[in-house]
C-alpha cells in the first residue's frame, strides 16, 4: 500500500510539473506574438496613411478636374468668339473693297463722260459726230462687259472662300468637340479609378496619357484643316486670271475703237483723254 501511495505521489508531482508547460507560452512564442502584433499595427498605420493619401489625392484631383472643365469651357467660348470675330472682319473687309470698287467705277464713269464731252465738242461734222457716238457706245458696252466679268470673278472667289472657311469651321468645331469629349472621358475614368482606390500614381499617369492623346488628335485635326490657306490661294489665282482676261479684252476693244475714231478725226487727232480700265 505504501508503495502504491508513493507511486501516486510521484505521478501527481510529475503532473504538477508538466501542467505549467501546457498553459504557459515559451519566451520564443511570446516574442513572435509581440512581433506579429507590431506588424499588424504597422500594416494598419500604413493602410491608414495610404487611405489618407488616396483621399487627399481624390480631393485635389476633383478640384483640378473642375478647373480643367472650367478652362475648357472658357476656351470653347473664346473659339466661338474668334469665329464670329473673323466672320465679322471678313464681312467688313468685303464691304470696304466693294465700297472702293464702286467709288473707282464712279470716278471712271465721270472721266469717261468728260472725255465724251470733249470729243463731241470737237466733232464738227456729222461723220465725226457719228464716229464719237459709235466710239462711246463701243466703250460703254466694253465697260459693262468688263465689270460683269470682274463681278463674276469676285463672286466666284468669295463663294469659294466661304465654302472653304465653312468647311474649316466645321472641321475645327468637330475637332474641338472630339477633344472635349476625350477630356470628359478621361476625367470620368480618373474619377472612377479614384473612387475605386486605384493607386494615385496610376490614376495620374493614365489621366495624363489620355490628355496627351487628346491633344495630339486635336493637333492632327487642326493641321488637316490648315489646307484652307492653299485653297484660298488657288481661288485668288483663278480670280486674278479672270480679272486680267477681262481687262485685256477691254483694253483691246477700246484700242480698236480708238483707232477707228482717229480715222474719222484724222490720223493726227488725239482723243485727248485716257480711258480707265
Closest to 193 in 3D by CA, of 58, 65, 97? 58
Residue 202 confidence class, pLDDT cut points 50, 70, 90: confident
Residues 127-167: tens digit of each pLDDT: 999 999 999 999 999 999 999 999 999 999 999 999 888 88
Quickly state the pLDDT bin for 276 (edges 50, 70, 90).
very low
Which whole number is the average pLDDT over 75-103? 78
Whether residue 273 has pLDDT greater than 80: no
Q: What is the mean pLDDT of the chain?
A: 79
pTM over 0.85: no
Contacts of 239 (CB under 8 A, 6+ apart): 153, 154, 156, 157
Is-contact 123 275, C-beta < 8 A? no
Q: Residue 16: is its pLDDT beyond 80?
A: no
Per residue in 98-126, pLDDT tens?
A: 999 999 999 999 999 999 999 999 999 99
Q: Are 257 and 121 in contact (CB under 8 A)?
A: no
Cα radius of gyration (the chain): 48
CB-facing half-sphere around the CA of 247: CA atoms within 13 A: 10
Residue 38: pLDDT above 50? yes
In angstroms, the CA 246 to CA 197 distance is 74
Amino acid at each position: 500500500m505504501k508503495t502504491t501511495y508513493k507511486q501516486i505521489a510521484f505521478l501527481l508531482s510529475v503532473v504538477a510539473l508538466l501542467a505549467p508547460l501546457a498553459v504557459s507560452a515559451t519566451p520564443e512564442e511570446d516574442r513572435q506574438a509581440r512581433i506579429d502584433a507590431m506588424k499588424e499595427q504597422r500594416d494598419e498605420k500604413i493602410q491608414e496613411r495610404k487611405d489618407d493619401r488616396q483621399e487627399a489625392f481624390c480631393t485635389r484631383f476633383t478640384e483640378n478636374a473642375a478647373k480643367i472643365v472650367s478652362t475648357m469651357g472658357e476656351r470653347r467660348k473664346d473659339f466661338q468668339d474668334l469665329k464670329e470675330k473673323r466672320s465679322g472682319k471678313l464681312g467688313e473687309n468685303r464691304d470696304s473693297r466693294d465700297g472702293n470698287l464702286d467709288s473707282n467705277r464712279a470716278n471712271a464713269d465721270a472721266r469717261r463722260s468728260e472725255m465724251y464731252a470733249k470729243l463731241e465738242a470737237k466733232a464738227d461734222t456729222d461723220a465725226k459726230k457719228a464716229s464719237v457716238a459709235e466710239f462711246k457706245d463701243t466703250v460703254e458696252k466694253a465697260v459693262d462687259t468688263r465689270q460683269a466679268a470682274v463681278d463674276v470673278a469676285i463672286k466666284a472667289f468669295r463663294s469659294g472662300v466661304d465654302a472653304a472657311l465653312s468647311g474649316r469651321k466645321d472641321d475645327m468645331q468637330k475637332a474641338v468637340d472630339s477633344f472635349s469629349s476625350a477630356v470628359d472621358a478621361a476625367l470620368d475614368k480618373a474619377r472612377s479609378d479614384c473612387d475605386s482606390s486605384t493607386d494615385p500614381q496610376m490614376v495620374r499617369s493614365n489621366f495624363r496619357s489620355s490628355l496627351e492623346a487628346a491633344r495630339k488628335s486635336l493637333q492632327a485635326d487642326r493641321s488637316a484643316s490648315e489646307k484652307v490657306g492653299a485653297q484660298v490661294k488657288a481661288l485668288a489665282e483663278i480670280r486674278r486670271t479672270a480679272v486680267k482676261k477681262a481687262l485685256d479684252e477691254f483694253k483691246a476693244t477700246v484700242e480698236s475703237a480708238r483707232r477707228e475714231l482717229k480715222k474719222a478725226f484724222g490720223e493726227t487727232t488725239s482723243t485727248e483723254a485716257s480711258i480707265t480700265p
